[in-house]
Amino acid sequence: MKRRIVLASLLKPVNDTRMYEKFAVPIAQTNQYDVHVIGFEAKQAQAAENITFHTLFSGKRLSIKRLGIGLKYFNLLLKLKPEVIIVSSPDLLLFTSVHKIIFGTKILYDVQENYFANIVYTPVYPAWVRKPLGHFVRFYETILSRTFDHFILAEQCYEQELSFISDRYTIIENKFLPPIPDWTPPPPRIPTKGNIKLLYSGTIAEHYGIWEAIEIAKSFYEYDKSTKLTIIGYCAKESLWQELKKEISKHSFIILKGGNQLVPHQEILAEIKTHNIGLLTYQDISTHNNRVPTKYYEYLANNLSVLITQNKILLKLAKNNKLQILATYNTNINLVSNMGFANSYYDAKKLTNLLLQTTN
């Protein structure tokens, strides 16, 4: 009889790249688990065989409705009766721990963010609430961590940043997952004058460098009027979304896809193949200093040249992987081409082996 496993997140869509494509699908393919994915609403999302989707939340992410979502989640757990839960949202930790205390469920906490740093050092929340909220979340994670069987870390730097994980952790980075088993990367597309296609993909936010990306595109456009910038991703912050629409309306060379709607990951991968410079314009704040974003791996695995700003860890990785620096615009902007080997690929066996070790 198959064991039932739940993968749960509050704000990640049920078809999220990591939770669904990198975790749920390979787990289901072992044919040992009945897999249920709980998450944010994703319209027209279709689950693979042995996987069932459950929408936990929809609407605005910074909403009063989030306060009561824990009980809805717990009732869903009571209905599903999982033996194993992989949870990736701090909002859901309390009720996940309660379920373990009552029913003996195995818990793996998939730590995708340093939530303390994200809250304190980024402008997502009002300034007056950032420090108290950040310290509360860190205290909350630390207390509840005693009930967790294992931690999955999405970044190597979390080994040093998170004291509550003890030695019960495995690092599974967000590396590139090829869409098919016999996938081969597209040929390199070296940018030249008359053919400059810039790409900003993923979460649209100030601290991820959306305004820096637009300013860089303007500079390229001054040099070459054929320059195009495509922005594809989701913007959760309504005020930023309105500002962004207003700014883009002034520039015909900027194309926006998504914005106030979630974008399927396969659409983002398709855009990567048609561009020749990927923008990694992260702001220089402590929450980003040691992290490697998923799109770094996606860009390099797809032979896309990468423009990196103000990020020492990404430049160090580029040099370690013998990538070629195509151009240096100033002390903070470097254009890197994937002319050598980059260890960019996701290994699903690391997760399925971990499940066997920690849940038996």
For tokens 């005020």, the residue is 239
The region of weakest confidence among 79-93, 219-233, 257-271, 292-306 is: 292-306
As a whole number, mean pLDDT of residues 257-262 equals 89
Quote the mean pLDDT of the chain: 86
HEC profile for the chain? Answer: CCEEEEEEEEEEECCCHHHHHHHHHHHHHCCCEEEEEEEECCCCCCCCCCEEEEEEECCCCCCHHHHHHHHHHHHHHHHHCCCEEEECCHHHHHHHHHHHHHHCCEEEEEECCCHHHHHHHCCCCCHHHHHHHHHHHHHHHHHHHHHCCEEEECCCCHHHHCHHHCCCEEECCCCECCCCCCCCCCCCCCCECCECEEEEECCCCHHHCHHHHHHHHHHHHHHCCCCEEEEEEECCCHHHHHHHHHHHCCCCCEEEEEECCCCCHHHHHHHHHCCCEEEECCCCCCCCCCCCCHHHHHHHHCCCEEEEECCHHHHHHHHHCCCEEEEEEECCEEEEECCCCCCCECCCHHHHHHHHHHHC
Strand order in the sheet with 106-111: 51-57, 33-40, 3-13, 84-87, 106-111, 150-153, 169-171
The top-scoring range by mean pLDDT among 143-147, 286-290, 294-298, 347-351 is 143-147
Residue 323 pLDDT exceeds 80: no
CA distances to 106, 191, 253, 344 from 348, in Å: 20, 33, 39, 13
As a whole number, mean pLDDT of residues 11-19 equals 93
Pairing label, strands 51-57, 84-87: unpaired
- The answer as to CATH 1.10.1040.10 being correct for domain 197-337 is no
- Residue 143 CB contacts under 8 Å (≥ 6 apart), including other chains: none
Return the pLDDT at 328. 44
- Which of the four pLDDT bands, split at 50, 70 and 90, describes residue 327? very low
Residue 339 pLDDT exceeds 80: no
* Burial per residue of 6-38, b for 16 or more beta-carbon CB atoms within 10 angstroms, e otherwise: bbbbbbbbbbbbbbbbbbbbbbbbeebbbbbbb
29-65: pLDDT as tens digits: 999 999 999 999 888 788 998 999 999 988 666 666 6
- Which of the four pLDDT bands, split at 50, 70 and 90, describes residue 349? confident
**What's the topology of domain 3-175+347-359?**
Rossmann fold (3.40.50)
Query: Model pTM?
Result: 0.87
- Which of the four pLDDT bands, split at 50, 70 and 90, describes residue 315? low
As a whole number, mean pLDDT of residues 303-330 equals 63
As a whole number, mean pLDDT of residues 104-119 equals 94
Is residue 338 within 8 A of residue 304, CB to CB? The reply is yes
- Which of the four pLDDT bands, split at 50, 70 and 90, describes residue 273? very high
C-alpha to C-alpha distance for 131 and 89, rounded to whole angstroms:
19
Residue 340 pLDDT exceeds 50: no
Listed in order, the ranges of the chain carrying CATH 3.40.50.2000 are 3-175+347-359, 197-337
Residue type for position 102: I
284-304: pLDDT as tens digits: 777 777 888 889 889 888 888
Share of the chain above pLDDT 70, in %: 87
